[in-house]
């Protein structure tokens, strides 16, 4: 009977999911060479090639597609059984995987993730940030963190904190040199830091006031896909940027950045921690949910929580 170790099966499933050996290796915490060797070993034992490999891409063969479709549910069951066994320990331990928008990860990191780890040092938290909305079950994640209005309807969700805001900010030097916009349309006369979405489209800045909504396709010298770079450019007086208030609050309070168009930036949905229903959650899983509920600033779950 041909058998493959769980490590080899995990390697195949992660490469199939991510489409890149390097990305899959990073998520599994192993070297690219070790990952490649594990897959080659399994392919040899099966006597069939599971992946088509080129210098630029990796894709499943037809046999690989059939293998992954049949093996993935069984591997999930094995991991769940192992998690249940580990949950018998008194102290929470093991790994919790969280998928979140980059801005959401930054918002929860200091007040939720780090304090939790101080209380439960035997737990390891693996955070993956992505701009796109992913299926956390298919991706092998325990939790997702998104805006409440983006949480899938079949998930259990816990609200984290209150409403959030986008803010438009610029440095005092930039505003002194170029003036202050009063209405969103004034941005046409300003250099703005443009943001590229995961699908390649340029993000249009949304505004709302007195029931009037408008989206502005801003122009500027720089296009970015990372909020921290936009903040750095704004501090350097390159232009105005649209940012999460939590990302630039310290800069605003210190006077390094100045808010503009305040009456045009509406509140956003609060964040939610969400997860699929689990009959036998691990001790670490339950501890994280309980910790989030106690420290979220609200105990109101959007849907029933685990028992």
SS3 for 260-271 is ECHHHCCEECCE
Is 277 among the domain residues?
A: yes
Residues 10, 147 share a domain: no
Ranges of the chain with pLDDT below 50? 1-3, 298-307
CATH classification of the domain holding 15: 1.10.10.10
Q: Where are the alpha helices (DSSP H) in the chain?
A: 6-18, 21-28, 32-46, 62-86, 102-108, 114-119, 172-178, 227-235, 245-254, 283-295
Is 87 among the domain residues?
A: no
Residues 181, 241 share a domain: yes
Q: What tens digit of pLDDT does each residue of 22-35 get?
A: 888 888 888 889 88
For β-strands 94-100 and 143-147, DSSP reports them as parallel
Is 19 among the domain residues?
A: yes
What's the confidence (pLDDT) of residue 299?
A: 35
Residues 221, 204 share a domain: yes
Q: What tens digit of pLDDT does each residue of 96-128 get?
A: 999 999 889 988 998 999 999 999 999 999 999
Residue 125 sits at φ, ψ, to 5 deg, of: -110, 125
What's the confidence (pLDDT) of residue 303?
A: 38
Number of domains in the chain: 3
Residues 64, 201 share a domain: no
Is 11 among the domain residues?
A: yes
Is 88 among the domain residues?
A: no
What's the confidence (pLDDT) of residue 173?
A: 97
Taking the CB of residue 74, how many other CB atoms lie within 10 A of it?
10
Residues 275, 128 share a domain: yes
pTM score, whole prediction: 0.64
Is 201 among the domain residues?
A: yes
Residues 275, 157 share a domain: yes
Among the three residues 19, 54, 70, which one is the final residue of a domain in this structure?
70
CATH classification of the domain holding 129: 3.40.190.10
Residues 185, 48 share a domain: no
What's the confidence (pLDDT) of residue 1?
A: 35
Residues 148, 20 share a domain: no
Task: Tell me the C-alpha distance between 260 and 240, whole Å.
Answer: 9
Is 80 among the domain residues?
A: no
- Domain interval for residue 110: 94-162+269-295
Is 202 among the domain residues?
A: yes
Residues 215, 170 share a domain: yes
Residues 21, 64 share a domain: yes
Residues 255, 179 share a domain: yes
Residues 149, 209 share a domain: no
CB of 45 within 8 A of CB of 2? yes
CATH classification of the domain holding 259: 3.40.190.290
């Amino acid at each position: 009977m041909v058998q493959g170790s769980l490590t080899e099966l995990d390697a195949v499933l992660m490469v199939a999911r991510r489409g890149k050996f390097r990305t899959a290796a990073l998520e599994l915490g192993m070297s690219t060479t070790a990952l490649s060797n594990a897959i080659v070993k399994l392919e040899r034992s099966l006597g069939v090639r599971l992946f088509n490999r080129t210098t630029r891409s990796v894709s499943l063969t037809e046999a690989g597609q059939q293998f992954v479709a049949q093996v993935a549910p069984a591997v999930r069951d094995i991991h769940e059984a192992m998690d249940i066994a580990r949950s018998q320990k008194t102290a929470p331990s093991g790994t919790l995987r969280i998928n979140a928008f980059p801005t959401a990860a930054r918002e929860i990191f200091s007040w939720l993730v780090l304090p939790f780890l101080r209380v439960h040092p035997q737990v390891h938290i693996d955070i993956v940030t992505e701009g796109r909305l992913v299926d956390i079950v298919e991706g092998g994640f325990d939790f997702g963190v998104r805006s409440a209005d983006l949480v899938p309807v079949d998930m259990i969700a816990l609200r984290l904190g209150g409403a959030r805001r986008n803010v438009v900010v610029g440095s005092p030097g930039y505003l002194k040199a170029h003036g202050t916009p009063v209405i969103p349309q004034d941005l046409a006369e300003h250099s703005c830091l443009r943001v590229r979405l995961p699908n390649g489209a340029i993000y249009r800045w949304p505004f709302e006031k007195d029931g009037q909504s408008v989206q502005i396709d801003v122009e500027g010298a720089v296009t970015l896909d990372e909020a921290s770079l936009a903040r750095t450019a704004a501090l350097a007086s390159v232009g105005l940027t649209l940012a999460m208030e939590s990302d630039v609050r310290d800069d605003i309070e210190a006077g390094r950045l100045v808010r503009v168009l305040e009456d045009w930036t509406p509140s956003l949905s609060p964040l939610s921690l969400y997860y699929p229903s689990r009959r036998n959650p691990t001790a670490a899983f339950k501890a994280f949910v309980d910790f989030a509920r106690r420290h979220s600033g609200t105990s109101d779950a959007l849907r029933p929580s685990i028992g």
